[in-house]
Structure 1
Amino acid sequence: MSEEHDHEEEKHSIFGQKEYIKFIYHFNYFSAYAIISAIYCIPTIIITLKMIYLYVRKHKVLSQNNLHPELFRQFLIMQTLCLFHVFIAFFVIRIPNTGWMTAWCASRKPERILKVLMFLNSGIIYSKYFSIILFCVMRVFLLTTSSYLKEKAGLYLTYLTPFLISVAFLLALPRYMENASCSQVGDPFPHGAIMVMSLIRHNAKMPLSFIIEVVINPFVVITISVLNFIMFLKLRESRQFKIQSSGR
């Protein structure tokens, strides 16, 4: 039975397959797309670095009346994690899609490196999700509390970030436990276009990493939607209160 399972995995992997070992890379549409995507990210990286510089140099002068410093810090953490996600996606999807690393992956069989990439990819994605949720929580909290609580609790909420990032990478750990390989991508991608992915054995039980992903994704969407709805309600109440106060 084990040999049958291994055979099913091999059908989805390019490891050791001669047609991929001898594959010769040629510049193609997906190579151009990867380059354009990288160039497109440069302005975002520059702007994010400038915002980080602004926070480091002037965070003491930020006030709760214009831009709350803890909320701004959480936004920068969220934005940085989003950039890390884009960066790791280049190694998992964008570059493999070009065919540039196909022959190397087929001949060297770098499973440990690929497992690390899958682990980092999932860990960064979950960290990004948790940072977005925490950012939304802080927005709602700052809209509904007094100035004293804003000053105290805003700082404590920020300390949750390293804890949530640790939880995110713990949730991603099952990805490292799974087999990983480079697999040929289907249409419309050409022959030699691959993708780094975890391998799931045929007729095997649902892997823990998949269960975690199935639970986290809807949880994140629902939580962010609810928090945004609450925020808009509070903003509407605040606006109506100001209108009523000015009319008196």
Structure 2
Amino acid sequence: MTLIARFELENYIGQLLSVDRFRDYCPNGVQIEGRETIVKLATAVTASQAAVDAAVAIGADALLVHHGYFWKSEAAAIRGTKKARIAALIKADVNLFAYHLPLDAHPELGNNAQLGERLGLTATGRFGDQELGWIGELAEPATLADFARRIATALDREPLVIGDAARPIRRVAWCTGGAQGYFHEAVNLGIDAFLTGEASEFVTHLARETGVAFIAAGHHATERYGVRALGEHLARQFGLELIHLDIENPV
């Protein structure tokens, strides 16, 4: 194993993910500064207390996540669970790297790219704010029921499916995580189904009235793969020791 300086790793990831081109809801990069050099890297979807504790327990120098801290909508005060997580990282001198929208969007390592690959979707375009939504096609049409089974097998999770089970599905729009708001725009793109992580009340009515199937496969489940792919890339690039922490989350 080799080591890399914290600033060098941050600069590399920033360029790789084109961080500067995104308008995000949180800072991307090093959110909590720890030791200056990194040999062992842990990855997780979210910087929960469980992920932080696991990273500390295995002696990681850095924890790399998709969902970090300091969201624009959250209170600025560092107290309660927020204090406990940050205190644990600082006490152990562990760096926290977090990449949100840039990790969703990357054409190879990103959440959308990784999810599409696992579901047999070939990307043909982008849509939505900052082009975060993806459009693609299945190699061969499948019924909605068959496509839902493919998703359940790939993600080890039964998705919420709204639509005619017998409907042929070929053209699909998708965006991982909490992107149900993109459904309004997606239905006008000539698609058969829209796939995301979460559902809101309105999607049932929109799916029924337009005939476009809606699938919610879980926020965590649809975003498990980007941070893992990024970690594996960094491990190969710099010879780092890598441990992925898959903290179970039913949402």
- Indicate the structure whose relative CO is greater, using CA pairs within 8 Å and at least 6 residues apart: 1
* Higher-Rg member (1/2): 1
Q: Which has the higher helix share?
A: 1
TM-score, normalisation: structure 2? 0.23
TM-score, normalisation: structure 1? 0.23
Q: Which has the higher strand share?
A: 2
